[in-house]
Structure 1
């Protein structure tokens, strides 16, 4: 199972240091043997813009994959975003993976759309069409006609490193999201709290792929999971509770009803990750539960020691 990590791009996490220290964090992620470095996307909290962060990480790394988890495409101009993604793919030598989402109802959804002046309604259809437009641009299409975007003449686009463009994954686990993942996307990046739900969701994705005439194995089964390794379960939960309150304004007890968590001693965290591996996950992206960059670095080292023996 491939193990990746999220870069701590939130300003609260690096403000006591320097944003440039995130470059060193990216280098250490590669040195420790992790498979990928991912970045979050949000307009509701100050953070380094995700595609800017990946562009900065690309030239200082050589092997590790670079990803978004999840980018919110409908909040951006689609043609310019396609060019930016192709540019990062070129600068990284074809190491980019683009996981996308359409935001969720409630406190974190509608305000994002209001800030971006994009309608909330039909956001999923808009997302699918935006990704289709990216792929058309990367393939050299001369025109594009859709419900939300129509261009009688498209300019020459920046070509990605790979002719087909970077793989595009979908985040989400509703029945509609599972169906769309199987039919249209290259990977699945959910965060179900129960590994059993991962198993049933993955089977639904693969069945949708079969129904669409695709190979089920063409969809990468990934997992977004919050991780905290500590001396005890209690210590890990206390720190993660502070982390979820800082990030979401929600206690851990509420957040763990909707997201995946692996908390506790190294053995406990390893056991949780093993359950998701048994459920079918093959690429895990860990968001480290730490409130500052020093603790993030410590968690990075602990996770490396747990999942990549001999990485130090």
Structure 2
């Protein structure tokens, strides 16, 4: 199982150069993937811009949006050009796009998009991405066929997107029982669609390490999930991994259920968190 690390974009960072330092350290310590999350109504950095900076600061580590809110990218031709440009900057085989319709109505209100049609809007975006090589808009991607797509969600629509357009599925705030419950449905849908091989299964979990770990998690996660109520915010905090032992247990348990990749999302902006995680997982 590959081990990745996620930038602490939802945490209270204040200097974007810190995120670039995370990227450099993540590659130096041997992580397989660097991911970045997406929100509009939050201090989260824009994913494609952030990964472009990371691409310029690194040369090998894979880059992933985890997950990008597709329906907010209303100009589909421009988005396809942005993706192809980022793929060129990163080099072939480094970029993957994790996509989802989105959950928060305030993101759509702020972006002037219709929350109720977000699933259909995402499908139209995917159609445009699939046709990106048939026109002269933007550069050709460096990766043959364009960057692989991963999709979040548990709905039938999510399964349809994975089997029609995707290379696999990505689970945010993942738990072992949740992944174990969904993957048989994923495998069945993949086979039913006539796809060969197996869909890639990527799980993403929260972490912070060190003497301030629990406080850092509370500062980052509790406000981020406050929209869903105090109980859910506490639940989100409780899922985070805050000791090396908890991190190693997560690696063992997600590997045991057949995950292809596990990504630890940072909650403390200190770049030293990269080294603490690398030490915990044995990189």
Deviation at 1:159, TM superposition (A): 0.7
What's the CA shift string for 1:242-293, capped at 9, x where partnerless? 3212323378862475799352431222112311221221111211222xx3
User: Is this contact kept in 1: 2:226–2:233, CA < 8 A?
Assistant: no
Deviation at 1:298, TM superposition (A): 2.5
The alignment's C-alpha RMSD in Å is: 2.4
Partner of 2:64: 67
Secondary structure of residue in 2 paired with 1:263: coil
Deviation at 1:179, TM superposition (A): 4.4
Secondary structure of residue in 1 paired with 2:16: coil
Unpaired stretches in structure 1, ≥5 consecutive residues: 143-154
Task: Confirm whether residue 177 of structure 1 aligns to residue 162 of structure 2.
Answer: no
What's the CA shift string for 1:72-131, capped at 9, x where partnerless? 121111110110010010111121110011111xxxx21111222221223223212211
Secondary structure of residue in 2 paired with 1:42: coil
Against the structure 1 CA distance between its residues 174 and 303, is the aligned structure 2 distance closer, same or farther, given a 3 Å change threshold?
same
Q: Out of 26-35 and 260-269, give the one that drifted further.
A: 260-269
User: Is this contact kept in 2: 1:71–1:98, CA < 8 A?
Assistant: yes
In 2, Cα distance between equivalents of 1:256 and 1:99: 26
Deviation at 1:51, TM superposition (A): 0.9
Unpaired stretches in structure 2, ≥5 consecutive residues: none
Secondary structure of residue in 2 paired with 1:27: helix
* Higher RCO (C-alpha 8 Å, min separation 6): 2
Mapping of residues 241-280 of structure 1, within 5 Å: 241-249=218-226, 254-255=232-233, 257=235, 261-280=239-258
User: Is this contact kept in 2: 1:206–1:216, CA < 8 A?
Assistant: no
Aligned length: 280
User: Is this contact kept in 2: 1:37–1:67, CA < 8 A?
Assistant: yes
User: Is this contact kept in 1: 2:222–2:233, CA < 8 A?
Assistant: no
Larger Rg: 1
Q: Out of 45-54 and 66-75, give the one that drifted further.
A: 45-54
